[in-house]
Amino acid sequence: MVTLDGESLTPEAVVAVAREDAEVAVSEDARDAVRRAREWIEGVTESGEAVYGVNTGFGELVDERIPPEDVDELQTNLVRSHAAGAGRELPREAVRAMMVTRVNALLKGHSGVRETVVDHLVAMLNRGVHPVVKSRGSLGASGDLSPLAHTSLVLLGEGEADVDGGEGADASTEPERVSGAEALARVDLDPHRLRAKEGLALINGTQLTVGLAALLVVDAERLASAADVAGALSTEVTMGSTVPSHPAITDVRPHEGQAASAGNVRRLTEDSDVVESHRNCDRVQDAYSFRCLPQVHGPVREAVDHLRNAVETELNSATDNPLLFERDRVDERASGTDRVGVLSGGNFHGEVLALKLDYLTSALTELGAISERRVDRMLNPNIQEPHLPPFLTPESGLMSGYMLAQYTAAAMVNECRSLGRPSTDNTPVSGNQEDHVSMSAQSAFHARTALDNVETVVGVELVCGAQAAEFVDDDLALGSGTGEAYEAIREVVPELATDRPIHEDVERGAAVARSPEFVERVDAAIGGDLA
């Protein structure tokens, strides 16, 4: 159960709702805040004062006054007209993430919707009604308008939705796509007739961006740990040194991320016979992709932390416009009544997330790049260690082994490098009224592409690391953590004794890299100390 209160939603809770179908509830204090804000907006409506989005047009049409009898129709028209998306549809988890984050923002008590709007959205989540949402169309200001409008259409009994099988249905039952009206009917909900401010409150916010970003934070943190595991295994099976992860080195350059990754390498390779077997060898230093692992993996961790901090704040923020406040919180310049002040601002602007999402894309690209270089060090006959055969195959020449796995890793890294940084772009819209936009949704999509690609690269490294371990002396045991990682890979990818189509090896390796269970399993093997 995830209880929403507008104040305490976390990325992990978003994952629970989006991916695990955790039930959603609303706290009583939050309900009080919603009811109070609705009373405020009704008072403003009755006063007749011009308030943006309540009794005026939108964007460039802000100076158009709307007669009182048309105020409700204004909100319905807004939702319909802004459902203008294109491109592929959002996946189920993205739609659920967007819905739960939108509910939480409304619960802040500054938006002015009726309680029944919140209850309908919660019921849709709990009963498996997922609007069909086109992924493209958001500029990240005024928020994620178009995707949120597609979501809100279903509240009106319009648009389309995918409906789960319902209570008692088999878990494998495919959702059925039906009209918005039919979707609501199947879960005993009536279509909504929107009232003043409600359409704007539903679509004006950053919820697509922050929903995607919340999922990314959790996934990227897990991938950073999986990459440390892969790097430690690669270091070990290439007879590399763990000295670059010595605490004395990190102590004199005390970046938290670097210290975390260095500590992981030490703990993962603890009690390793392989490491001990060449501790006093003639090699002075390893290549940078091994020696500088903490200095590259560490900053990636810090980039993810940077995004997490912003996401945790944004999840519990009011991001629509205008916002309602008790009069004593605002000065006389605010519109409204003696009881409530209405302020028009720009909390819908997604720059605070866009910049950090682009930063994450860059960081993940580097994580993939250094991983791919370690793969090459294991495979490349011109630079690999003497105990390793070319491309990790026992009969090189006759067989190509994992030669092409590195090609795939290189292709994934190249695609990451080709991704733009949308937060640096801008296209004015709405008659130039909205003359600077964040492109935050595009930043989130690019970061997701980078993360998916790097999961594959790290998966390739894990597979190649396990294969390289086959050529290490049988009498030498791997470390407690790296040994567990080897076993996890071998459960899904058998040793490569003869050539076979290796796309399944790549896919299974990627699945291991993205699996929370993999990191948990390795963590348990080293006593729960994996950062």
Alpha helix segments (H runs only) across 204-336: 207-237, 247-251, 256-268, 273-277, 288-291, 293-315
User: Which entry of 52, 402, 407, 486 is annotated as an active-site residue?
Assistant: 52
- Cβ partners under 8 Å of residue 520, min gap 6: none
Q: Shortest CA distance to 29 belongs to which of 8, 12, 5?
A: 5
Residue 153: its H or E element? helix 145-153
CA 249 to CA 258: how far, in whole Å?
Answer: 10
> What is the pairing mode between strands 129-131 and 160-163?
antiparallel
Q: DSSP string spanning 208-223?
A: HHHHHHHHHHHHHHHH
Q: Which amino acid is at 441?
A: A
Cβ–Cβ < 8 Å for 262, 254: no
Give bridge partners of residue 510 from the DSSP assignment.
none
- Cis preceding linkage at 389, omega within 30: no
58 secondary structure, DSSP code: -
If DSSP codes are grouped into helix, strand and coil, which group holds residue 417? helix
Cβ–Cβ < 8 Å for 169, 193: no
Distances (CA, A) of 225 to 330, 454, 485, 512: 46, 13, 12, 12
- Residue 248: burial class (beta carbons within 10 Å; 0-12, 13-18, 19+): exposed
Q: Which residue has the tokens 């269970």?
A: 517
Phi/psi at 429 (5° precision): -140, 180
Give bridge partners of residue 163 from the DSSP assignment.
129, 176
CA 52 to CA 63: how far, in whole Å?
Answer: 9
Residue 162: its H or E element? strand 160-163
Give bridge partners of residue 177 from the DSSP assignment.
162
Which structure tokens are listed for 530? Answer: 């994996």
Give bridge partners of residue 2 from the DSSP assignment.
24
CA 131 to CA 167: how far, in whole Å?
Answer: 19
Strand order in the sheet with 176-179: 129-131, 160-163, 176-179
CA 209 to CA 140: how far, in whole Å?
Answer: 8
Cα dihedral 342, 344, 347, 351 in deg (nearest 10): -170
- Is-catalytic flag, 52? yes
Catalytic residues: 52
